């Protein structure tokens, strides 16, 4: 067990709604990154937060947004949900930034979102 | 942008050796990683290469050639528990900052 916890574990939304997913990072980690993993695919990088600021972003539209709090926990918000947003959303924490660490991310178990 | 290719599926026998290849194209290369993901579980870190050459860690080894945009993960003395998806991930830099991008994964089945 990595110490990274995510909530909720499963949720169902309808198209057009908004969703907030939460992540508590492992103790001592100041960086959180979010990934979207569709069934049978690899995780796709959404963005990374380091010390409460976004410092890296993948090819996701602005309706995907996030926050990192002073205790380094994080939220992923998705507005105007679409059917293709159905996926497993993974949060990963690490110490240092993507640029400076050796890439050992500690993943949570994920939040599985279904959009109907 | 980044393009990461790895085989979709592989099958190998318990006790054997298997090599999973990964080719990539990226801007601002800053490291290549391998992760293991069992079905229904989160990915776990296996290895990291930033310089050319072979990194060995127990039964697992990873190789990188930056000039060829190529890496492989070598698994020795395969065990049934090694059946999982193996994800190649490349860290690169763009005007959006650093990003760690994953390939689609190679599903490895170890048979008795």
Confidence of residue A102 (pLDDT cuts 50, 70, 90): low
Q: What is the mean pLDDT of residues B71-84?
A: 97
**Strand ranges for B1-112 from DSSP E:** 3-5, 9-13, 18-25, 32-37, 44-49, 53-57, 60-65, 70-75, 84-94, 97-102, 106-111
Report d(CA A105, CA A70) in Å as an integer: 20
Average per-residue pLDDT in chain A? 90
Q: Which of A37, A38, A40, A43 to mutate to test the interface with B (most CBs of B within 10 A)?
A: A43
What is the residue whose two structure tokens read 């010390």? A51
- A36-50, pLDDT tens digit by residue? 999 889 999 999 898
Greater confidence (B61 vs A3) lies with B61
- B3-28, pLDDT tens digit by residue? 899 999 999 999 999 999 999 998 88
3-state helix, strand, coil split of chain A in percent (to 5) is 5, 50, 50
**Residue B1 confidence (pLDDT) above 50:** no
**Residue B64 confidence (pLDDT) above 90:** yes
Chain-chain contact of B89 with A103 (C-beta, under 8 angstroms)? yes
Chain-chain contact of A45 with B101 (C-beta, under 8 angstroms)? yes
What is the residue whose two structure tokens read 């990188």? B64
Within 22-81 of A, beta carbons closer than 8 Å to B belong to 33, 35, 40-45, 48, 54-59
Question: Residue B6 has what DSSP assignment?
Answer: -
pLDDT of residue A97: 62
Q: What is the mean pLDDT of residues B72-81?
A: 97
Q: What are the distances in angstroms from CA A52 to CA A69, A113, B77?
A: 6, 25, 44
Q: What is the mean pLDDT of residues B70-81?
A: 97
Tokens of A91: 């949060």
Chain-chain contact of B42 with A35 (C-beta, under 8 angstroms)? no
**Residue A27 confidence (pLDDT) above 50:** yes
Question: Residue A26 has what DSSP assignment?
Answer: P
Report d(CA A18, CA B17) in Å as an integer: 47
From chain B, the residues in CB contact with A106 under 8 A are 45
Cis peptide before B62 (omega within 30 of 0): no
């Amino acid at each position: 067990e990595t110490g990274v916890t995510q909530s909720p574990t499963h949720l169902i939304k309808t198209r057009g709604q908004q969703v907030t997913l939460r992540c508590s990072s492992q103790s001592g980690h100041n960086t959180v990154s979010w990934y979207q993993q569709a069934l049978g695919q690899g995780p796709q990088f959404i963005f990374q937060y380091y010390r409460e600021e976004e410092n890296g972003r993948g090819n996701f539209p602005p309706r995907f947004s996030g926050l990192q709090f002073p205790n380094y926990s994080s939220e992923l918000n998705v507005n105007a949900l679409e059917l293709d947003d159905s996926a497993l959303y993974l949060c990963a924490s690490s110490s240092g930034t993507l640029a400076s660490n050796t890439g050992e991310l500690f993943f949570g178990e994920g939040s599985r979102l279904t959009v109907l | 942008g980044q393009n990461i290719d790895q085989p979709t599926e592989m099958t190998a026998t318990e006790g054997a050796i298997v090599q999973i290849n990964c080719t990539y194209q990226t801007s601002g290369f800053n490291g290549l990683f391998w992760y293991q993901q069992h079905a229904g579980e989160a990915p776990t870190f296996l290895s990291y290469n930033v310089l050319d050459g072979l990194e060995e860690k127990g039964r697992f080894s990873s190789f990188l050639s930056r000039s060829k945009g190529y890496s492989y993960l070598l698994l020795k003395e395969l065990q049934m528990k090694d059946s999982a998806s193996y994800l190649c991930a490349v860290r690169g830099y763009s005007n959006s900052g650093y990003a760690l991008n994953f390939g689609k994964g190679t599903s490895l089945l170890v048979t008795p």
